[in-house]
Amino acid sequence: MSGGAAFPVPLLLGMMRLHEEPALHAPERLADWLEARLDEGLDWFDHADIYGDHAGEALFGAALRARPALAKRVRVVTKTGIVTPERDGSRPLAHGKGVKHYDSSRAYVTAAIDAALTRLGIARLDHFLIHRPDPLMDAEATGRALDEAIDAGKLGAAGVSNFQPEQWRRLQGAMHHRLAAHQLQLSLDHSAPLFDGHFDALVGDGLAPLAWSPLGGGRVMTGPARPTLLALAERLDVSPAGLALAWLRALPGHPVPVIGSLKAERIRALQADAGLTLARADWFALLEAARGHEVA
């Protein structure tokens, strides 16, 4: 069984809002932005076909075609499996609307991989994730699609997002390549996976944890942990957001935060704080503040 690539970076740059940033839509402008991030040592970019209904991947690919040398420097994660009502090509219901649903069929996954490669203008996807667990998933068929794409050199590794342990284990059991990564919601604002066995299971199964919404959509900065976060950040001379991400990285498996900001100064600030090592007592102080009670 083969394993996937590691994530030797402090951040993954999430592209979920790229289609909402007109200033970066011109290929040369986005190419400048990408080259700056690459020169700063950040080369992993997180996509999904659902982001902007393919627009995020298409914009990214246009920038790489405008500056072909960048294509060999970027590392790309992308995801598939969510079909929005607008993209539902099946017969519409009586009310004339499509149905949001999941599709992890072999044909859909295989076509999604090829389409992502075309939109992004790259030869290989470093990681390809099934975006949501599909209750109708035929693990043998889905696993075969992923194995075949890895064998063909289209994928460096495959993984999952938002799966529960038995869901990813059922898929893993049907594959000869190892699932390499799991992207899950995890932050000071959403620490439940640390206490319900979910996080222990993914680390135990050797999946690289990728944390989406690592600042809780801003709730980490405005919620009950705010006073402790501000005081500790001042004492440690780091940004509160950088401290919140350090809290995540202290966990086993060293989760990599997937940040959503496209602002260069914001990214630089978070990267500058990425070397912080958090003392155990400070880690628990933040947890206590976020949950509102001491550990047992």
Give the separation between CA 255 and CA 249, rounded to whole angstroms: 5
Question: What are the catalytic residues?
Answer: 51
C-alpha 240 chain-centroid distance = 22
DSSP letter string, 151-176: HTTSEEEEEEES--HHHHHHHHHT-S
- Regarding beta strands 82-83 and 101-102, do their DSSP bridges make them parallel or antiparallel, or are they unpaired? antiparallel
Q: Which helix (H) or strand (E) holds 209?
A: strand 208-212
Amino acid at 287: L
158-191 burial code (b ≥16 CB/10 A, e <16): bbbbbbbbebbebbbebbebbbbbbbbebbbbbb
Residues in the chain: 296
* 137 contacts 104 by C-beta, under 8 angstroms: yes
- Give Dmax (Cα) for the chain: 61
